[in-house]
Amino acid sequence: MALNKIPRWAWVIALGALLLLPMLGQYGLWDPAEIRQADVAREVATKGTYADVTVNGRYTPRPPLYVWLVATGFKLLGVNELAGRLPLALCALLALLLAFRVGERLLDEKGGLTAAFVLATTPAFIFQARQLASDMVYYTCLLAAIGGLAAYLWPASGKRSRLDLGIGAAGLALGFLAKGLMLGTALPLLSVGLAVALCWKLEHKSDEAGVWAASDGDDIKVGQTLGETMPAIYKPLAIALVAVAAVIVVAMMTLAHSKFLLLGAAYRKLALPPTFEEPMRDVGWGLFPWFALVPIALTAFLWAQRSGAEGRRRDAFPKLVLLLVCTIGYFTAALWVAYLGKVRYPALPLLSVAVGLFAYEAWRSDARHGLWGLAAAGLILVLQQDFYMAPRSLAFSHLIEHAKYPVDLKIKVAIRLIGLGMTLMLFFALRGAPERPVQRAFVISETASKWWRPFRWLAEVSLSIVNGAIGIFTHIGNFVRYLAGPRDRNFWIAGATLALIFAAWCSLWLTPQLSLHMSNKALFMTYHRCKSQGERLAQYMVSGRGAAYYNNGQVDQVRGRQQLFKLLNGSKRVFVLVPSSQLGSLDQAARKQKVPYHVLDDRNSHYLILSNKLTGSCNKDLNPLRRLVLNKRPNPQHKLEINFENRVKLIGFDLDRTVSRGGKFRIKLYFHVQSRVPAGYKIFIHFDQPAHRFHGDHDPLGGKYPTQYWLPGDYIIDPHDVEIPLLTTPSGRYKIYMGFWRGSTRLKVLKGPKDRHNRAILGNLRVR
| Residue 294: φ, ψ to 5° | -60, -55
pTM: 0.86
Q: Stretch 390-398: mean pLDDT, rounded?
A: 92
Give the model confidence (pLDDT) of 406-420 as tens digits.
888 889 889 989 999
Residue 496 has pLDDT above 70, yes or no: yes
Q: What is the pLDDT of residues 53-86, one digit of tens each?
A: 999 999 999 999 999 999 999 999 999 999 999 9
Give CA–CA dist 25/336, Å, rounded.
Answer: 34
Task: Flag whether pLDDT at 23 surpasses 90.
Answer: yes
DSSP three-state, residue 369: coil
β-partners of residue 716 are 629, 671
Q: Give pLDDT, residue 441.
A: 46
Residue 225's pLDDT is 84
Tell me which of 304 and 247 has the higher pLDDT.
247
Q: How far apart are CA 293 and CA 429, in angstroms?
A: 11
The CATH class of the 629-767 domain is: mainly beta
210: left (phi over 0), alpha (psi -120 to 50) or beta: left
Per residue in 87-127, pLDDT (tens digit) is: 999 999 999 999 999 999 988 899 999 999 999 999 999 99
Rounded distance, CA 702 to CA 668, Å? 12
In the predicted model, is pLDDT for residue 457 greater than 80? no
- Residue 736: C-alpha distances to residues 280, 363, 694, 759 (Å): 41, 53, 10, 9
User: Residue 407: which of 606, 599, 601, 543 has the closest Cα?
Assistant: 606
Question: In degrees, to the nearest 5, what angle opens at C-alpha 545 toward C-alphas 543 and 549?
Answer: 160
pLDDT of residue 208 exceeding 50, the answer is: no
User: Which pLDDT score is estimated for 265?
Assistant: 86
Read off the pLDDT band of 213 (50, 70, 90). Answer: very low
SS3 annotation, 261-328 = HHHCCCCCCCCCCCCCHHHHHHHHHHCCCHHHHHHHHHHHHHHCCCCECCECCCCHHHHHHHHHHHHH
Read off the pLDDT of residues 713-759 as tens digits, 9 standing for 90 and up: 999 999 998 888 776 778 889 999 999 999 889 999 999 999 988 99
Q: Give the C-alpha separation, 289 to 415, whole Å.
A: 11
pLDDT at 300 (0 to 100): 92
Report phi then psi at 699, rounded to 5.
Answer: -80, 140
Q: What is the pLDDT of residue 305?
A: 87
- The residue type found at 66 is Y
Residue 665 has pLDDT above 50, yes or no: yes
634: preceding bond cis by omega (within 30 degrees): no
C-alpha distances in Å from residue 465, one per residue of 180, 438, 443, 468, 477? 68, 17, 15, 5, 18
Sorted by where each begins, the domain ranges of the chain are 3-206+218-427, 520-623, 629-767
pLDDT of 337: 84
Q: Is 237 exposed, middle or buried (0-12, 13-18, 19+ CB in 10 A)?
A: middle
* Cα 588 from chain centre: 37
Q: Does the structure show a pLDDT above 50 at 631?
A: yes
User: Distance (Å, rounded) from C-alpha 273 to C-alpha 510?
Assistant: 35
Check residue 469 and give its pLDDT: 60
- Helix (H, G, I), strand (E, B), or coil: what is residue 607? strand
Residue 546's pLDDT is what? 83
For the cut 50, the answer to whether the pLDDT of residue 47 exceeds it is: yes
